[in-house]
Amino acid sequence: MLSGILIFNQKGENLIFRAFRNDCRPRLADVFRIQVISNSQVRSPILTLGSTTFSHVKHENIYLVAITKSNANAALVFEFLYRFVGLGKAYFGKFDEEAVKNNFVLVYELLDEILDFGYPQNTETDTLKMYITTEGVKSERAMEDSSKITMQATGALSWRRADIKYRKNEAFVDVIEDVNLLMSAAGTVLRADVNGQIVMRAYLSGTPECKFGLNDRLTLGEDNLQPSGNRAGAKATRAAAGSVTLEDCQFHQCVKLGKFDTDRIISFIPPDGEFELMRYRATENVNLPFKVHAIVNEIGKTKVEYSIAVRANYGSKLFATNVVVRIPTPLNTARITERTSQGKAKYEPEHNNIVWKIPRFTGQSEYVLSAEASLTSMTNQKAWSRPPLNLSFSLLMFTSSGLLVRYLKVFEKSNYSSVKWVRYMTRAGNYEIR
């Protein structure tokens, strides 16, 4: 497994160096600095030199590097690095160079706890915060306390403390969908899919058993055996009946996967506070919130004309916020003149973009931007690569997949009543028009 964890800043200074095995030598820090940080031609997150492999992720302004010898489980290495970043964020708010420099001891202490001999151990924030804290170890803990911690860290419910109490028991469910679209210049949909996540904030006392239901029909390869024509037909009828088809879902480790596998019930004992309950993918019957009609004409070598129309496809009672349309311009653009029917458009030369912002976009309305870019002449006439036009937005009370939460039931010994809230939001993932 891992031989060491290193953290560098962008200048290549080694901030953290923690070896877990004897084969992790200090000079490896120099190797990484030379081969990766000061090398502009890096084309892979994995570099193997001799028998040493450097796997890195970049987060904010730091590099987090895992050193392994031999043929390690790469999925585990990266998943651990992501988790380490997540822990850093949970502890420091923002995990960047400054946070590391202000918390050297804590970072070392965390690493010592979450990796033993390079094997990832319990990485649950909640449990770790019981005995590794930013304000130093509060008081020398009593014996019972310590064994409580150790039971928690090794138990089957490692993500939840036993003694949680709330006066008011509440659970908030956020259904957040990232809708991805790739549309050709001619307006045909090349790809449309939804990556959804269900985030829960549970403020529930004791050890609550939750059952969760959606309006889904999870196929998970079951009826893949049928002839394809039949299958499409079946899916269409389902959509009409108000259920959605999910391609796949993945769950937080608190969900009892065995139970889900046999009777398709999502049942779990939630961690305290916020966590991501599940992720899902949908590709059938995706409702696209915005339709974009873009005409881009290159007139000779000196001028590009734009006419972009964006239409909201959702109900007129809803409205999207923070709608931003990014319209790429050629690299040699000298001047832009633009007109919009709503919102503000601005040319950002540093990004080669016209940025059109519409703070509030009511359903069923359509707005238009027309612009003209004058180009300077260039010595090397390289064709403009025409990056895609890109949209970002967020839209409340709407799901592109049509997913709805049917119920959330909470069972607890003490039989308290609990209040549940649900919210839906659709955001733009990669919403691109070529």
Partner 1 sequence: MFLPYAFDSARLQYLRSPQGKVAELRLELNSGGKKDKNFSAKKTALKKIVANMTMSNNDMVALFPDVVACMHLPSLEIKKMCFLYLVNYARIKPDIALKALPIIRGDVQDNNPLVRALALRTMSYIHVREYVEGTIGPLKELLRDADPYVRKTAAFCVAKLYDHDRHLVESSDLIDRLNGMLRDENPTVVSSALAGLMDIWERSENIKLTIDYASASKIVSILPDCSEWGQTYILEAMMNYVPHDTQEAALLAERISPRLSHSNSAVVLTCIRVILYLMNYISDQKVITSLCNKLSPPLVTLLSKGAEIQYLALRNALLILQRRPEVLRNDIRVFFCKYNDPIYVKVTKLELIFMLATERNIKEVLTELAEYATEIDVDFVRKSVRAIGKLAIKIPPASQLCISTLLSLVSTKVSYIVQEATVVIRNIFRKYPNQYESIISTLCENLDSLDEPEAKAAMIWVIGQYADRIEDSDVLLDDFLDSFLEETHEVQLALLTATVKLFIQRPTRGSSLVPKVLKWATEETDNPDLRDRGYMYWRLLSSAPEEAKKVVMGEKPPITAEESEKLDPGTLEEMCLNVGTLATVYLKPVNQVFRSARPRRLQDSPALQRNELPTVKAAQQARERAAAERTKLDTATHTNGHGGTNGNGNLAQAVSDADVYFAGVGRQSTWGASPIVTEQGAMGGGWVVNQNAPQQVVMSPGGEGGNQDLLL
Bridge pairing between strands 273-282 and 248-251: antiparallel
Q: Does 156 bind partner 1 (CB under 8 A)?
A: yes
Task: State the minimum distance, in angstroms, from the CB of residue 284 to partner 1.
Answer: 11
State the Cα–Cα distance between residues 38 and 10, nearest whole angstrom: 9
CA–CA distance from 316 to each of 71, 175, 220 (Å)?
Answer: 56, 21, 35
Q: Compare residues 42 and 419 and give the one whose CB is closer to partner 1.
A: 42
Q: Compare residues 78 and 416 and give the one whose CB is closer to partner 1.
A: 78
Q: Looking at 146, 226, 337, 374, which residue binds partner 1 (CB under 8 A)?
A: 146
Q: Does 172 bind partner 1 (CB under 8 A)?
A: no
Q: How many residues does the chain have?
A: 434
Q: Compare residues 70 and 337 and give the one whose CB is closer to partner 1.
A: 70
State the Cα–Cα distance between residues 418 and 363, nearest whole angstrom: 34
Query: Which H/E stretch holds residue 15?
Result: strand 14-19
Q: Does 434 bind partner 1 (CB under 8 A)?
A: yes
Task: State the minimum distance, in angstroms, from the CB of residue 223 to partner 1.
Answer: 10
Strand order in the sheet with 209-214: 266-268, 209-214, 405-411
Residues in 263-292 at the binding interface with partner 1, rule: CB under 8 A: 276, 278-279, 281, 283
Q: Looking at 2, 4, 5, 16, which residue binds partner 1 (CB under 8 A)?
A: 16
Query: 40 by DSSP, 3-state: which?
Result: coil
Task: State the minimum distance, in angstroms, from the CB of residue 404 to partner 1.
Answer: 21
Q: Does 309 bind partner 1 (CB under 8 A)?
A: no
- Neighbouring-strand partners of residue 344: 357
Residues in 411-430 at the binding interface with partner 1, rule: CB under 8 A: 430
CA–CA distance from 140 to each of 129, 133, 136, 144 (Å)?
Answer: 15, 13, 10, 12
Contacts of 175 (CB under 8 A, 6+ apart): 196, 197, 198, 399, 403, 405, 422, 423, 424, 425
Q: Compare residues 338 and 432 and give the one whose CB is closer to partner 1.
A: 432
- Picking from 345, 324, 316, 328, the residue whose alpha carbon sits closest to that of residue 387 is 328
Copy the structure tokens of residue 86. 């997540």
Q: Does 72 bind partner 1 (CB under 8 A)?
A: yes
Which range of residues in 148-156, 313-321, 356-364, 418-426 is near partner 1 by CB under 8 A?
148-156
Taking the C-alpha atoms of 23, 25, 30 and 36 in order, what is their torsion angle to the nearest 10 degrees? 20
Asked whether 216 and 246 are in contact (CB, 8 A), the reply is: yes
Query: 109 by DSSP, 3-state: which?
Result: helix
Q: Does 176 bind partner 1 (CB under 8 A)?
A: no
Q: Looking at 34, 162, 220, 236, which residue binds partner 1 (CB under 8 A)?
A: 220
Q: Looking at 86, 120, 206, 343, which residue binds partner 1 (CB under 8 A)?
A: 120
Task: State the minimum distance, in angstroms, from the CB of residue 231 to partner 1.
Answer: 12
Q: Does 295 bind partner 1 (CB under 8 A)?
A: no
- Neighbouring-strand partners of residue 336: 373
Contacts of 266 (CB under 8 A, 6+ apart): 211, 212, 213, 214, 251, 255, 260, 277, 278
Task: State the minimum distance, in angstroms, from the CB of residue 433 to partner 1.
Answer: 11
Residues in 177-206 at the binding interface with partner 1, rule: CB under 8 A: 180, 182, 184, 190-191, 193, 195
Contacts of 78 (CB under 8 A, 6+ apart): 45, 55, 57
203 residue type, one letter:
Y
Task: State the minimum distance, in angstroms, from the CB of residue 67 to partner 1.
Answer: 12
Task: State the minimum distance, in angstroms, from the CB of residue 384 to partner 1.
Answer: 9
Residues in 35-54 at the binding interface with partner 1, rule: CB under 8 A: 43-46, 48, 51, 53
**Contact map string, positions 347 to 386, toward partner 1, x by CB under 8 A:** -----------------------------------xx-xx
Q: Does 92 bind partner 1 (CB under 8 A)?
A: no
Task: State the minimum distance, in angstroms, from the CB of residue 303 to partner 1.
Answer: 20
Q: Compare residues 140 and 163 and give the one whose CB is closer to partner 1.
A: 140
State the Cα–Cα distance between residues 88 and 83, nearest whole angstrom: 8
Query: 106 by DSSP, 3-state: which?
Result: helix
Q: Looking at 70, 297, 316, 374, which residue binds partner 1 (CB under 8 A)?
A: 70
Which range of residues in 143-151, 199-207, 319-327, 344-352 is near partner 1 by CB under 8 A?
143-151
